[in-house]
Structure 1
């Protein structure tokens, strides 16, 4: 399945030219981040929880202990990921905007158990910090029991991307206009004073790399 779903919730109504319909666009957004926002309804009111995530071809996996009492009741959630690539500074304040890439995923989360839970936790850990699963101590049974890992299907998803220059080139107002790009990269690691081991290669080598 190469195309994203076009359900009532995910079809593009405004700024349709920014919509993306191919599934690879979704994976591009997922690959370049590791924090999502999980929107749920708790006691009749909305709650949005920031949390780390991992993913594979079929699911996004999120750490859901903060809202697990609601998430286990079969309610639909909305997971969002957004990357800001720059400020679009136009001739008119009205035309100012943001270059961005975003994804919205709808689904009923499924709490994981046993080997499936452990595999999803590895997926989540390796997505955020590649190489760390085999380097650090893995969770014991007590820690696993205290952790909720949720799987949300990628079947129902929507992607939007805004890129390029301001849309008001015909505005006669004589001011500078363009894009102020934003990049993100890892800074040098800061070692815990109590650490007894030197900085491992898989962490050191991320310095200066984008995320």
Structure 2
């Protein structure tokens, strides 16, 4: 394999690669980054000290070759990270509903990324930078406009960094995969596209007069927003 291909793909271990429909899997960094930069929420899975599994929806930020998560320093997620528990993070974008002529072949078009690994706790100046990035992802330039976290808020917040190493993307694109014998059935078949859109901003009732709402761009890396 050419060196350029090696550098552009994740060397994901076999145990972390999709087993079901492996032809839909990809380890291409550009695809992984694109999905992570477009998605706003992830589902974070871990197991607590009692062996009970948990899955939590969380807002996240991609920072180069890692993901940043933040939340309460007292939450179970933080405790799991402190003891070095493995995490599994999944991000999924729903692109369309695939309606077939048979119930069996109904499906959805999607793009997803799954990341496995043990997160590290971010401290000091890097933690401050990470918290700024979580604000910047929502609206470019926002971190310079708002009040920064005070000492109490900073201490009450934990920031986790999970490196993008054991990574796999999986996608489903295209149309209906009906059986040949079903093609003449009098049933509509096709794809209904779906996408996330920015609505009209609704100002807080206590907003000072004359303040403009920020312009939002949902896709692309932080440097381009």
Q: TM-score, normalised by structure 2?
A: 0.86
* Residue 103 (structure 1) aligns with: 113
CA distance in 2, matches of 1:16, 1:70: 30
Could you list the structure 1 runs, at least 4 aligned residues long, displaced by more than 6 angstroms after superposition.
none
User: Residues 120 and 162 of structure 2 are in contact (CA less than 8 Å); yes or no, is this contact kept in structure 1?
Assistant: yes
1:150 CA drift (Å): 0.1
RMSD: 1.6
C-alpha distance in 2, partners of 1:63/1:136?
A: 18
Q: Shift of the alpha carbon at 1:19?
A: 1.1
Tell me, in whole angstroms, the C-alpha distance in 1 between the residues paired with 2:28 and 2:210.
Answer: 44
Q: 2:160 aligns with which of 150, 161, 170?
A: 150
Q: Once the two structures are superposed, what CA deviation does each residue of 1:42-99 show, in whole Å capped at 9, x if it has no partner?
A: 1211111111111122210001433211221101100111110110001111000010
Return the alpha-carbon distance in structure 2 between the equivalents of residues 6 and 114 of structure 1.
31
Residue 6 of structure 1 and its aligned partner are, at CA, apart by: 2.7
Q: What's the CA shift for 1:21? A: 2.2
> What are the within-5 Å matches in structure 2 for residues 77-92 of structure 1?
77-92=87-102
Q: Distance in 1 between matches of 2:98 and 2:23?
A: 17
> Structure 1: where are the runs of 5+ without partners?
none
Tell me which residue corresponds to 2:201: 189
Task: Summarize deviations over 1:99-156 as a string: whole Å, max 9, x none.
Answer: 0010001111111111011111112221233221111111122211100000000011
1:39 aligns with 2:45: yes
Q: What's the offset of the Cα at 1:210? A: 5.5
Map of 1:66-85 to 2, 5 A cutoff?
66=75, 67-85=77-95
Instruction: Give, in whole Å, the separation in 1 of the partners of 2:92 and 2:86.
Output: 20
| 1:52 counterpart residue number | 59
**Helix, strand or coil: the match of 1:148?**
strand
* TM-aligned CA distance change 1:82 to 1:200, over 3 Å: same
2:122 corresponding residue in structure 1 = 112
Q: 1:142 to 1:197 in 2, by over 3 A?
A: farther
The answer on whether the counterparts of 1:40 and 1:76 sit within 8 Å (CA) in structure 2 is: yes
1:5 to 11, 19, 26: 11
Q: 2:32 aligns with which of 23, 26, 29?
A: 26
How many pairs align? 207
Q: Distance in 1 between matches of 2:157 and 2:79?
A: 13
Asked if 1 retains the 8 angstrom alpha-carbon contact of 2:12 and 2:165, the reply is no
- Whether the 8 Å CA contact 1:55–1:124 is kept in 2: the answer is no
CA contact (8 A) 1:26 1:103 kept: yes
